[in-house]
Amino acid sequence: MASWVILRALGLLCVTFLQGVFVERSPDAYEVIIPLRLASGSDPGLVYQIKTTAGQTYILHLLPNAALLHPDFSVYTQNSTGQLFKVPAFPQEHCHYYGYVKGIPGSIAAISTCSGLLGFWQTSTFTYAIEPVKDAESFQHIIYKVEDMETDPKPCVFVRVKRTPRKELYHKMRQTQNRQDSSQARLMQIYIVVDNDLFQYYHKNITLITDTVIQVLNMADAMFVPFRLQLVLSGLELWNIKNVVPSSEYVKMFLQDLVTWKEKNVSSRLKVDMTVLLRKDEIQDAIAGTFEGEICWSDNALLFLSVTHYVLPVVSGHLAHELAHSIGIPHDSNYTSECLCPLSPCIMHYGGVSATSFSACSLQYYNHFIAQGGGYCLQSVQSTSLQKRYTYQYCGNRIVEGEEECDCGTEYECIRDHCCNSHCKLRSNAQCSYGECCKHCQFVKPGVPCRKPVSECDLAEYCTGVSGICPEDVYSQDGSPCNHNRSRCVTNRCYDYDQHCQMLFGKGAVVAAKECFALNTIGDQFGNCGFQDKDGPPIKCETADVMCGRVQCETEQDIYIYKSHSVTVQTPSGNVSCLSVDFNSIPDIGAIEDGAQCDTGKICLARKCVDMSVLDFNCDIQENCSGRGVCNNNKKCHCDKGWAPPDCSYGGFGGSVDSGPLVLDSFISYIPPEQDFKFRDFEYRECPLETARKKEKLKRDLAIGLGVSLPLLAAGIILAVVYRHEIIQFFKK
């Protein structure tokens, strides 16, 4: 009887009891317990005490995950014709929590309390799942070790994208212009779609599916707390009538079909960072597929996940794995000796194993991805309540905080760390444990470049020899001339109309005549001065601001356009042809940036042509820097090679008091990247998507060829045999 109760309760987690999935497991793996809620004092969250039959006691400290659901969160379903419509809103109670286990560094907890406790907590040795016993007379719950529920590992497939050179140039430009502090908290807004097969499996119960999806995302979100990344569910789409995207034999082909679908059906109506398709069946024995590092390349910011395992913490771990790929985190299966996590295996282990914590290497990959600008589209968190989510400080969370000298994580992780000990102190022989200027626990010698300039307005930084951290990023003071005195530096950027046109339309494109910019007074997608709000209509430019709207170009070369984006050719007057481009699903790269010189003595700022004096540029290079350098954003001289700070009046090695000391021949300056604008089609580094289609076409062509040639060959042989004597006589003549 007890076994039946346990299995019946387990059916809650699986939504429906699937015969044969769990009966192979011994009921001894499950325990029936009654969680005890403790007083939380002034803490706004919840505290629960859980005792196992083995006598272990866990105290879960839980805080509300208030940002899990977007304020405009909606559920969409299909009508009888397959068209989407919004389900009438139903109240969403704040019953989803994240937290930690008291006394266990590096622990994670994610619990939903909507109807009992459902979720998981992870210790240094096991991950426990908890769920309520249905119709129990008391507050009974089941707990079990997630590791005991694991099935055979399944791989995922991630694709690295190779773009046309102009696309890559744009992507690099957006990244370098948006280098960010990796310690800043960010949001990832997610739109989740449930396919028809999974919808049927969940008994077509919209409420049940919605609750399950939110619970899965809440658990995945807890896994990203060390990243300071908040997952937000913006919307849920249910394919309750039919699958909009048919299945495919090949993962990469299916991903391409999803890209096409998303471009037409999601990007055109919603502004989200990531689209997730939850499906029931695998493809090519893979449970998931996504594009690596493509979170900010809108149409590629998607993934599919096959829900082949119905233990929700396992599903959430798989989801976290795929989301991590999208923010530049690869598998760490090849680095198991260095890439440790509080509880191995780690989430990014190859093979889709059950895991709930990321490795130290994954965190490093993410920090690098953000620092290089790869996550420029992810919204920074400004909310005080959200910032508090990441301010809980303790030794062992792999984040250096307060008086800590370092933080290597759990005791097990710190065993293999040669620089840091488990008390968050440097080891006796170590000078540092992290940073661009820390190598083998020692400071890198002074003068070694640690941050290269990424634009004409950027300035290099060099290791100091007394810190493992690269000096603060500095750049030319706003208002500094650049682009051969045709533009002004603004927040580390130097705008060039001609280069902008070449990026859009290829080599040979240049900025159009000024009369073309009158198109910006129309206020449509090709000519405007921005938008009223995120999803609002375009704003018409005032006549004085037309050079700050959208760039207008001309070229005598062939026009190469990006797939899925439209180009217009307009002729406002005479024989002048004006080119503009509409990018409808990625950030508007047709917009003219701040710093463009829109008129004599004027520059563009926030799509307005304003007097240059607003930049408060007060650097007299001749007087302040002896004519041998530029002023940085701290209004200090950054000297040219061969001259020394602070005023560049004496010989030296260059740099500034902010850049770190230089040594002989260590000076570096910005080198523009080579720009090859030769057009090439969208392709993949791994197994091109077209390969499968080409193989199928080859098979069809071969079948058709054989179908035609074999009968003709057979007929020829028969005729040759029948008329062999005549043929022999013919050749004897």
Q: What is the pLDDT of residue 10?
A: 34
Task: State whether the Cα torsion 708-709-712-717 is positive or negative.
Answer: negative
Is 325 one of the annotated binding-site residues? yes
Cα radius of gyration (the chain)? 31
The one catalytic residue among 322, 413, 554, 593: 322
- For residue 654 the two structure tokens come to 């260059």
Side chain identity at residue 474, one-letter code: V
d(CA 151, CA 334): 22
Q: What is the pLDDT of residue 1?
A: 33
Q: What's the CATH number for 72-89+177-386? A: 3.40.390.10
- At residue 466, φ and ψ (nearest 5 deg) are -125, 10
3-state helix, strand, coil in the chain (%, to 5): 25, 25, 50
Question: Which stretches of the chain drop beneath a pLDDT of 70?
Answer: 1-28, 42-43, 89-93, 150-155, 157-183, 298, 333-338, 351-353, 382-394, 533-535, 558-576, 583-588, 673-708, 720, 722-733
Which helix (H) or strand (E) segment holds residue 716: the answer is helix 689-722
Number of H helices, E strands in the chain: 13, 35
Is 141 one of the annotated binding-site residues? no
- Closest CA relative to residue 188, chosen from 370, 372, 386, 378: 378
Side chain identity at residue 6, one-letter code: I
Cβ neighbours of residue 559 under 8 Å, at least 6 residues apart? 505, 506, 567, 579
d(CA 111, CA 129): 9
- For residue 63 the two structure tokens come to 């805080």
Provide the pairing of β-strand 118-122 with 108-112: antiparallel
Q: What is the pLDDT of residue 356?
A: 84
- At residue 633, φ and ψ (nearest 5 deg) are -70, -10
- Does 322 participate in catalysis according to the annotation? yes
Side chain identity at residue 433, one-letter code: S
d(CA 551, CA 709): 57
383 Cα distance to chain centroid: 21
Is 171 one of the annotated binding-site residues? no
Q: What is the pLDDT of residue 402?
A: 75
